[in-house]
Each structure stands twice: as C-alpha cells, then as structure tokens.
Structure 1
Amino acid sequence: PTTLEFFDIAGLVKGASKGEGLGNQFLSHIRGVDAVAHVVRCFRDGEITHIYGSVDPRRDAEVVRTELILSDLELVERRLEKLGRVARLGDKEAAKEVEFLRRLSEEMARGRMAREVLKEEGVSLSPDLPLLTAKPSFYVANVADPQGDRDLVGELRQVAEGEGVPLVVIAGKLEAEVMELPPEEREEFRRELDLEGSGLEELVKVGYEVLGLITFFTTVNLDLKAWTVPEGTTAQRAAGKIHSDMEKGFIRAEVIHYEDFVRCGSEQAAREKGLVRIEGRDYLIQDGDIVHFRFQS
C-alpha cells in the first residue's frame, strides 16, 4: 500500500520564532516536509486547559501563521545577506535573486505567506531556501464530537477559506479509540456514534490532494499493488515507477478504472463490456486507474 508519513511537533505559541515554547526547536527538523497540516483545537472541555485560557480557533491559527512567517523571514534574511555579498561581486543571477528576496521579505513582513507571493509572481524558490510558508498546507479541526462545537469549526473554516486551503474535521480522541478496536468492530462503533466515515481517511485524502498526488494500481496473480505518482504523470513514466526496464521497453498500457472494475466484478467482465482501454506512452494516468503495462524486456 502507498503511505503518507506525518510528523507531529510540539504546538507553536506566541514568540516561538524567538525561542518561546518547544515548537521552535522542531521547526528546522520539518523544513524538508512536502506539506504542513495545522491542527487546531475546536472543542470546549473545562478539564483540558488551553495555554491562553480560552478556546479560540481564529486566534490560534493566527499565532501559528505569524510564527511560521517570522521563522521563515529569518531564513530569507540570512539568504539575502549571503547572496548580497555575491551580488556585489558582479554575479547577475545572485543580483536577480536578491531583488526578488527583498520583495518577498517585504510582503512576508506584512503578514503574507511565501506561497501567496510565489504564486503571484510565478516563480519558485531555490532548494536552499526551504520555507515552511511556501509549502502546501491545510487545517485540521480537532473536535471532541463531530456534531458539537460547530461554531468553533465554523470560525476555523472561515480562516481556511480566507487562505484558500482545505479544512479537515477530525475527532482525534474518538479516532484513537476506534483504532484500538478489532477491524471488524470499527464500522459498528462508527455507526453507533454517527461518525460519517473515517476522519483519518479524509486526512490522507486531503493530504494527497494538496500534494498533487494520485494513486494507480497494478495486479499480478490477484496481488493488487498501489503506486503513488504526481498528477500529470504519463503511462510510460508510471511504468518506470515500478521498474526502469518497464519504462525503457514500454509498448502500451491496458487501463480500466477502479470503479468500473468494482461495478463489473472482474477484469474479464470489464473486458467483455469494452471498458478496458489501450493507451499509449503519453496517456496521463488518472487517480484510481488499474493498469497492465506491456513492455519489451
């Protein structure tokens, strides 16, 4: 199976970029991640204290946003200082990057995320500048009851919509309890609590979406395998995900979508209904495709 790996760091508090709390100690450790999920408390519980004494998703989201921007600004300033010396020696590329980084720094100082500026200017960052606010992100509303505290979830939803990013609602404590049950008892438990699907599954789904990833499948002797590739991957490149020889000797791909396969009940039935397509090397793999690659060895 394909997987997404999540890294959990200590929550950021106001002043984290200056060393307050524990969160800042871990920021450097996650600069290599591909996306950032902001988990925000959206439930009231007098027995679980909040560091600020009250539950306010909008405030908490703003604290995290501000601290990430300030932390990234430090990296930008260091990069500017380093490139500035090179630019003064006559390096035109360095001078060009310095000019952009100054604009970026000014916009971030106004509270804008790096990704907003990058999208606006149609440019990408150097790999030497792993800004967290340049990465795709989304919000996770941690609730106690999926049907309760909707006003708090609504506040966080407004924040997410304002930033143009997705929001996932997950009952963290309940999900943990579900995962402790035997697999055959989990669905019944969800029905009893009126849980619509798995919050964890939705978390992974949105993670794939913000990363621009899709999943295709291959079958060998009834063994189904899942493979993850970026959206826009051609059939030939997808074959290379399995083995380089398959990419080099690619002939064609026989494709059926997963939903058609399930509806027909078998590959043979799908073939009889003409639902198996023959595609060439430039075919763009779609999420949920089941693919048989034909290649010369």
Structure 2
Amino acid sequence: MKLGIVGLPNVGKTTLFNALTGEKAATSAYAFTSVTPNVGIVQVPDERLDWLAAVYEPKKYTPATIEFVDIAGLAKGASRGEGLGNGFLAAIRQTDALLEVVRCFDNDGLFTEPMDAARDAEALELELILADIELMERRAERAKKAAKSGDKKVKQEAEFLERLIAHLSDGKPARAFDFQPEELALISDGGLLSIKPVIYAANLDEDGYAAKDQNPEFKALMALAEAQGAKVMPVCARLEADINDLPREEQKEFLEDLGIAERGLSQLIKCSYELLGYISFL
C-alpha cells in the first residue's frame, strides 16, 4: 500500500513525513524542497498484536506496513504544467491513496494569503480534476473515432466517457461518480487521479491542536470532508516531530503531561491503513 502525502507548499508535508517515518528529509521555507519524492515505510500500530507478542514471545512477528511518499508541494496550475507540473501528477499516479496536508495554522513569515483550509483543500482537488478531464477528453476522442466502425462496445465506452467528463467538468471528483462495475473496468489502468481515496490531515499548531474543536479552519475542513465522504485527522506535525526526538521512555511522560491519550500520529497511521479497507486478522 502506497500513500502519497500531498498539499500546497510549506504546509508541513515533509515535517509530517519525517514524524511518520523517522526520516530526516530536508525541510525549508521555500517551495519545492522535496523535488524528488521522499519514501519511507511505517509500521501500523496494533495493540492486539503487541499483546499477543508479549504473551507468546514468538521469534518473529511482522506488523502491517504502509509506504508513505512525500510528494513536492502543489503549484496552482500543475494540471497545465506549472510548478513541477507533470512530475507532480505522475508521482500521484503511482500512489493508492492520498493524505492531503491542509494548513490550519497561521505564520505570517511563510504565507501571504490568509488561512483558509477549505480553499486550500479545494485547490488541490481542482488540479486533480482538471488533469482527469484532459486525460478523459483524449481518451473520449479516440473512442468516438473508433465508434464510427459501428462497434457497439466502443460506442458505449465513448458515451460513458462523455458522462464522466461532464461530471468532472462540474467540479466533482471521479470518486463521487456513480460507476457501474463494467465502467470501473474501463478505467482500471489507474490513470484517474481524483478517484483516489483521500484523508485530510489538518495540520494545527500546538494551541490549535489543544483547542481544535473551537478552531474555525478545522471545523470548515470537517464540513468539506463530510460533504465529500472523506475523513479528517487532526495532527500537529511539529509537535509530533519533537516527540520523536525524545527518548522513548520520556515520550509517554510528555504525552501524559499534555493530557494526550494517543498520539495523533498513531491515529493517522491507523486511519491511513483503514482507508483502503485493510483489516488485520489475528
């Protein structure tokens, strides 16, 4: 399972990637620091498996894992080749699902635009939809030409593609399209980007994380995700990275002092694992 970490520049993607994986990928206040995707393997926390291992003391046990890919920040216009353009989109095509990091914190030194979590989430979604429209239009053109031969199956494909293009043109992602089983088979080559399942990682600062239920940007992102049938996981990427730097025995004490029962990082990993319908059988 490969999950791509995406988002606008400087929202904390690589900081979150480092916290998730224990890697030390470079971060900076400049866009496109992560030109080449960073890749790391993460074990899925499973208290049941840990308990069984402690009881039976097997010589070896293998937890489930997720491969996280830190993809360069999105530039508006990526679907037209701006920023890292096609490279950004190609990296997304190689993933099974998306973890979109959305800024829910203020930093006047990094950002000129005011914080707007829903706007930022919609900006990335739009670029994926536009890329899908371009891809499907090329495919529909080929299907329409081939349908002139009278092939009924090809004609049905052309009609399906036109309906899908109309859906995308309304600003709706492919994952919200009502596919028939035979239609899903037609697009099973993995070309569509907006069909990929999404989790929103609401990246808050420490104060915002502690009072997330009162954070207007977090609530706006929750409302957007609910309308899309997506999940939102709150996280403070900087705090998680700092916790990772502590000795293991001090981490639990630190979390208890903050009144945190379970790290947001652990919840995010579990949610990522569940996103594609993976279930662990013991």
Compared CA separation, residues 173 and 15, structure 1 to 2 (3 A) = same
Instruction: Please point out which of 11, 15, 18 is paired with 2:73.
Output: 11
Instruction: Please point out which of 84, 87, 92 is paired with 1:25.
Output: 87
1:92 equivalent in alignment to 2:155: no
- How many equivalent pairs are there? 214
Q: Which residue of 2 aligns with 1:73?
A: 133
Instruction: Please point out which of 181, 194, 201 is paired with 2:266.
Output: 201
- Does the 8 A contact of 1:69 with 1:113 survive in 2? yes
Deviation at 1:23, TM superposition (A): 5.5
Q: Gaps spanning 5+ residues in structure 2: where?
A: 1-62
Compared CA separation, residues 23 and 139, structure 1 to 2 (3 A) = farther
Structure label with greater radius of gyration: 1
- Does the 8 A contact of 1:76 with 1:105 survive in 2? yes
The 2-side partners of 1:56 and 1:24 are apart by 26
RMSD: 1.9
Deviation at 1:31, TM superposition (A): 0.9
Percent sequence identity is 43
- Does the 8 A contact of 1:169 with 1:199 survive in 2? yes
**1:4 is paired with a residue of what secondary structure?**
strand
Higher strand share: 1
For residues 220-278 of structure 1, the C-alpha deviation after alignment (integer angstroms, 9 at most, x for no partner) is xxxxxxxxxxxxxxxxxxxxxxxxxxxxxxxxxxxxxxxxxxxxxxxxxxxxxxxxxxx
Q: Which residue of 2 aligns with 1:240?
A: none
User: Aligned AA for 1:130?
Assistant: G
Q: Using CA pairs under 8 Å that are at least 6 residues apart, name the structure with larger relative contact order, 1 or 2.
A: 2
The 2-side partners of 1:24 and 1:55 are apart by 27
Instruction: Please point out which of 207, 228, 233 is paired with 1:168.
Output: 233
User: Aligned AA for 1:135?
Assistant: K
Q: Which residue of 2 aligns with 1:234?
A: none
The 1-side partners of 2:66 and 2:118 are apart by 27
Q: Gaps spanning 5+ residues in structure 1: where?
A: 217-289, 291-297
1:185 equivalent in alignment to 2:250: yes
The 1-side partners of 2:134 and 2:158 are apart by 15
Q: TM-score, normalised by structure 1?
A: 0.67
Q: TM-score, normalised by structure 2?
A: 0.70
1:104 equivalent in alignment to 2:169: no
Instruction: Please point out which of 113, 121, 139 is paired with 1:61.
Output: 121
Compared CA separation, residues 201 and 185, structure 1 to 2 (3 A) = same
The 1-side partners of 2:161 and 2:190 are apart by 11
The 1-side partners of 2:149 and 2:243 are apart by 62
Instruction: Please point out which of 188, 193, 199 is paired with 1:132.
Output: 193
- Does the 8 A contact of 2:71 with 2:91 survive in 1? no
Q: Which residue of 2 aligns with 1:261?
A: none
